[in-house]
Amino acid sequence: MDLDISYIEPLLDDWLEGLQLIIKAQEKLINATDEFYMPYIAVPIPIVNAIYKITEYLHLERDIRYIAIHLYDKFMCNYFWEKYKNTDSTQSSWSQICKSISSQSVLYLMSCLQLANKMNSHLNNLKIPQVLGILQRIDKKSVYTHKIIVSSEFKVFKTIGFRMPLCTPLNCIEILLAATGLKDTPRMQELTVDLLDLFYLQRKKIYSHLQCLIQGYIARNIEEKRSLMTLESNVLFLGASVILCGTFFLYIKSETVDVIAIKLSQLIDIKVNNIWDMANILLTMAIQE
């Protein structure tokens, strides 16, 4: 996505307003008692690593990995909830469900990559022979066919309600870079993408540290945990934090960084201190890498 500030600026308020509505709806889902959604619960580090390696191997665009992470996380949460509502609570039945989900996880992951690729580049779809090739490399014990691939992709799409993410964290970063006048800053775009990759690999540690900074301790009850989850699910907050962290590597004057932080806070309607905290944690993780 190549964004021109002269093109984006007149649309920025409407775009942010629309995205805030999506974020609010997601927060409502997190707080609901008749639904199940815990952001990133289904994408531990091995899953993220697998997505990174597959997208690199297939030379897929960077944004596809973030779309796939979102889809896989959403699918697994919805799929688990469906099973939970329609299964008795005996230990043996849950054991069977877990085995079933685990045995199909690689297939579902590839279906998410297929959908992500179609959303990002409909002219360069991930072909079924490519999917079969990857599956055969990863899972030599199972047999996959053209029909299984098609059926799995439809199942994933149906389970997520036939809805694709309207905006990924990378989209948010690109828009916020344009809005803050940082789009053409040398190395900024490359830095933010690398930091975003790092975030997904260190997400659990990052949010654990963030919670300690904001609350002073690890969440002890469901309300505190849900409060953190609303921040975890906020792609604008993530995008703003990544951008602020990126400025630390570019020797930008501290006064200018302060102005950027305030501007980001105003754009996404999040406390500036929270953005600073997240950016500093990400900086620490980046230095340790």
Q: Are 270 and 240 in contact (CB under 8 A)?
A: yes
pTM, two decimals, is: 0.90
The whole-angstrom separation of Cα 56 and Cα 38 is 27
Place of tokens 């703003």: 240
Backbone angles phi, psi at 65, to 5 degrees: -65, -35
Place of tokens 């500093």: 280
Supply the pLDDT for residue 101. Answer: 86
- DSSP per-residue codes, 56-114: HHTT--HHHHHHHHHHHHHHHHHHHHHHHHTS---HHHHHHHHHHHHHHHHHHHHHHHH
pLDDT truncated to tens, each residue of the chain (289 aa)?
444 555 556 777 788 888 888 888 888 888 776 666 778 888 999 999 999 999 999 999 999 999 999 999 999 989 988 887 887 766 667 778 788 888 899 999 999 999 999 998 766 789 999 999 999 999 999 999 999 999 999 999 999 999 998 788 998 998 899 889 898 899 999 999 999 999 999 998 999 899 888 878 777 777 777 778 888 889 999 999 999 999 999 989 999 999 999 999 999 999 999 999 999 999 999 999 7
The whole-angstrom separation of Cα 4 and Cα 246 is 20
Q: CB burial class (10 A; 0-12, 13-18, 19+) of residue 22?
A: middle
Helix (H/G/I), strand (E/B), else coil: 275: helix
Give the single-character DSSP code of 161: T
The whole-angstrom separation of Cα 203 and Cα 101 is 23
Instruction: Give first-to-last CA distance, the chain, whole Å.
Output: 28
Q: Where in the chain are the domains?
A: 39-159, 169-288
Query: In this structure, which long-range contacts are made by residues 224-231, counting pairs with CB atoms below 8 Å and at least 24 apart in sequence?
Result: 226/30, 226/31, 229/30, 229/38, 229/39, 230/27, 230/30, 230/31, 231/207, 231/274
Query: In this structure, which long-range contacts are made by residues 46-49, counting pairs with CB atoms below 8 Å and at least 24 apart in sequence?
Result: 47/72, 47/109, 48/200, 48/201, 49/201
- DSSP per-residue codes, 13-66: HHHHHHHHHHHHHHHHHHH-SSS---TTTT--HHHHHHHHHHHHHTT--HHHHH
AA identity, residue 45: I
Place of tokens 């877990």: 98
Helix axes 146-159, 91-120, angle to 10 degrees: 90
Domain covering 39-159, topology? Cyclin A; domain 1 (1.10.472)
Supply the pLDDT for residue 1. Answer: 46
